[in-house]
Structure 1
Amino acid sequence: MTDKPWPYPRWVAHRGAGKLAPENTLAAFKLGASHGYRMFECDAKLSSDGVPFLMHDATLTRTTNVREIFGPAPSATGGDHPWSELAKLDAGGWHSRAYAGEPLPTLENISRYCIANGHLLNIEIKPTPGVERFTGEVVARHADRLWNNAPIPPLLTSFQVESLEGAQATAPHLPRGLLLDTLWKGWLETALTLDCTAIVCNHALWDTSSVTQAKSAGFRCLSYTVNDEWAAQRLVDLGTDGIITDRVDLFPPT
């Protein structure tokens, strides 16, 4: 069993408020908080001038009005544009009229909101291809600075081993988690090498065997993205530690 501190709640709101508000925006965080959630997951990547901002996808097209501002840009990534241009985008209108004009937030914006309100944060490092380690370094540096005096640090996670290596080298004291969509060969050893605190799996990957392996090696067990009551109950019964959900309206964050 792990002896590392684990000050985080079981329930984590995915991208702020799941699908109830435009993901990875301040509006989504505020809506998640209104449902009683006090820990949130978000995705962080870098602009072309190195500003960490919230965005899940590799391209801007699904969750912004990038075409209206910059013209046809089906493959435009956040890394193609400086923050001064990204800040002009509408990251809410795609979801519904009620959120039209909602801007992309920087990691600093979201962190300051969380710290001011006593909320906790799971930052998924989501690099543009080719800058995996650098993104991990920059996100960790910003997280370390922003949460310097906070009692509970953010949890840094990534599917990209290089990103976690960058975070580990830059701010080794910040807790890290390895994200997995399959239990690939060497996942446990990799997490140990990265000195991770947690393993964050697609919820279907957890069973008695995988939970026992992870916990015996000292890791906390978290799951994404859990939106059904039966799946949540199965994970509770397995003794896992954290559940990331879109359904902030269904699951009370006990």
Structure 2
Amino acid sequence: MKHWPYPRWVAHRGAGKLAPENTLAAFRLGAEHGYRMFECDAKLSADGVVFLMHDAELDRTTNGTGIGGDRPWGELARLDAGSWHSRAWAGEPLPTLENLARLCLGNGYHLNIEIKPTDVAIAQRTGEVVAREAARLWTGAAVPPLLTSFRPESLAGAKAVAPQLPRGLLLDSLWQGWLEMALQLDCVALVCSHALWDAATVAQAKSAGLRCLSYTVNDEWAAQRLWDLGTDAIITDRVDLFAPV
């Protein structure tokens, strides 16, 4: 992408830790803090519905138990995804990607969809289904969502079914061949754990035509270091600390 249409600040899972992550309440709260781009985690229900949740297991962020991807959407839709955070959010449901798309498209918000397969065996299929759904939902939109994943198989699946949607490779370490893999997948960005960026890695990425994004940055000194390095965007939990200017 020669033109980079996304804001410099991205709210992690909606509103960081101020609201139950990956719920519509969190995205609305992030927007109240001035954020216009959000990161979310997308996975598949047992019957192929794309819904938002980070963990493979339901236990931490809902009143359910077991693997979320093993349940049909009809069961997942009835879970409470808010009470774990605080009483104020009791009864907040798990949203589908379509629910979030309506919120974003209706308000001009941008989205980074992390493709989050529950198992490596379905990584490619998850990428295919998420990308196909994103392409359908954002048909005709001026700015498409950015699809990212730690799993190259998921990005390969996304590329196969919706090559027009921009992709980014997520990295929690600089494993051998990381840059070559990003280029092979026709990525437009690298999204790294913020400590991985230094002058050399930024130069490598930029010389390859890739944008440099960082997660999850919650301290002012870390943010300033990344801006000084010339990176392009920061994903943060601290929507209450950083003004997204």
Shorter-chain TM-score tier: over 0.9
The two structures have a TM-score, normalised by structure 1, of 0.95
**Long gaps (5+) in structure 1:** 67-72
Q: Does residue 209 of structure 2 align to residue 223 of structure 1?
A: no
Aligned to 2:82: 92
Q: How does 1:186-197 map to 2 (within 5 A)?
A: 186-197=177-188
1:4 deviation in Å? 2.4
Provide Cα deviations, 1:62-85, integer angstroms capped at 9, x if missing partner: 00001xxxxxx4xx1111100000
Q: Which 4+ stretches in 1 moved above 3 angstroms?
A: none
Q: Does residue 62 of structure 2 align to residue 106 of structure 1?
A: no
The two structures have a TM-score, normalised by structure 2, of 0.99
Q: How does 1:29-178 map to 2 (within 5 A)?
A: 29-66=27-64, 73=65, 76-129=66-119, 130-178=121-169
The whole-number CA distance in structure 2 between the counterparts of 1:213 and 1:188 is 8
The whole-number CA distance in structure 1 between the counterparts of 2:4 and 2:91 is 37
The whole-number CA distance in structure 1 between the counterparts of 2:107 and 2:91 is 24
Q: Does residue 9 of structure 2 align to residue 19 of structure 1?
A: no
Residues 56 and 69 in structure 2, CA contact (< 8 A), matched pair in contact too: no
Q: Name the Cα RMSD after superposition.
A: 0.6
1:5 deviation in Å? 2.1
The number of aligned residues is 244
**Paired residue secondary structure (1:209):** helix
Counterpart of 2:216, as a letter, is T
1:61 deviation in Å? 0.3
Q: How does 1:196-235 map to 2 (within 5 A)?
A: 196-235=187-226
Residues 136 and 162 in structure 1, CA contact (< 8 A), matched pair in contact too: yes
1:101 deviation in Å? 0.1
**Long gaps (5+) in structure 2:** none
The whole-number CA distance in structure 1 between the counterparts of 2:122 and 2:96 is 18
1:13 deviation in Å? 0.1
**Paired residue secondary structure (2:42):** strand
Counterpart of 1:12, as a letter, is V
Aligned to 2:234: 243
The whole-number CA distance in structure 1 between the counterparts of 2:16 and 2:232 is 20
Aligned to 1:69: none
Residues 4 and 197 in structure 1, CA contact (< 8 A), matched pair in contact too: no
Counterpart of 2:5, as a letter, is P
The whole-number CA distance in structure 1 between the counterparts of 2:57 and 2:140 is 34
The whole-number CA distance in structure 1 between the counterparts of 2:83 and 2:145 is 29
